[in-house]
A = this chain, B = another copy of it.
Amino acid sequence: MCAFGIINAAGIANIGRYVDVASAVITFGGSFFAVLASKSLSDYLAGLKSFLLVFKASSTDTKEMIQKIIDLSNIARKEGLLSLEEAASNLDDDFMKKGVLLIVDGTDPELVRGIMETELVSTEDRHKSKIAFWEDLGSMGPAWGMIGTLVGLVNMLYEMDNPSTIGPSMAVALITTLYGSLLANWICAPVAGKLKSNNASEIMLKEIMIEGLLSIQAGENPRVIEEKLKSFMAPGDRMLDDGGDENG
């Protein structure tokens, strides 16, 4: 949409005015190089690859997960904690499965919480390092754009004898700033934002799982567990859940 707006404003015939290889090399080269130099290679590649996560639909359905935990708590109540082993094999989520197996093994509740929370924290750390990649790249874009513009301006200022070239020279100098802004605001800000928002919902889901698993281990009443876990949800979503799923 905004690409259309830019083209519209510039005129389709003038699109070539916005393409300049040397400017792209300074701005993108400088930005990516500076971020590469500031990370270990594996973090850098993980950061780059996380771009694809933006297009992956987030599969976290809070309501469904709460329902699963309540089902598990009903099984545990009726048939004992050991019967969860079988139920665990039907779970898609590795984090949830690990927690259930720890419970089945009879691990101490404090230790279950410790292991699960360490995993949650280190998952969040890995997410944050990917978010930081895009934020760092986004702050490097305008910086290297300005460096390119300064390089172009200095050159232009030495060649002011021919007034007719001043305009185009300055235009070329400004293109790096434009590239830098686009890198920051068209690519990096949305990607970092999306990764942050995905992280937030994944972490909340994992917190619900930890809370639910520990309640199951403590042998709490399924109704109380439901009440507890629904506090994580918006009141509106909760209502719907009551209507459809509670008899499950």
B185 touches A39 (CB 8 A): no
Please name the residue on chain B nearest to A11 by beta carbon: B155
Set of chain B residues within 8 Å of A189, measured between Cβ atoms = 34, 38, 136, 140, 143
Q: Knowing A8-B22, A9-B148, A158-B17 touch, does A231 contact B181 (C-beta < 8 A)?
A: no
B154 touches A115 (CB 8 A): no
A17 touches B185 (CB 8 A): no
A73 within 8 A of B: no
B140 touches A154 (CB 8 A): no
A10 touches B231 (CB 8 A): no
B171 touches A154 (CB 8 A): yes
Within 8 A of B (CB), among A195-248: 196-197, 200-201, 204, 224, 227-228, 231-235
A181 touches B150 (CB 8 A): yes
Residue from B10, B125, B154 in contact with A174 in the complex, judged by beta carbons closer than 8 Å: B154
7 A–B pairs (Cβ distance < 8 Å), ordered by A: A10-B151, A38-B194, A38-B197, A116-B231, A118-B228, A150-B178, A158-B167
Hey, what's the 0/1 contact readout for A15-31 against B, CB within 8 Å counting as 1? 00110001101100110
Set of chain B residues within 8 Å of A136, measured between Cβ atoms = 189, 193
Residue from B4, B168, B184 in contact with A25 in the complex, judged by beta carbons closer than 8 Å: B4
Please name the residue on chain B nearest to A4 by beta carbon: B25
Please name the residue on chain B nearest to A145 by beta carbon: B150
Hey, what's the 0/1 contact readout for A146-187 against B, CB within 8 Å counting as 1? 111011111111111100101110110011011001101110
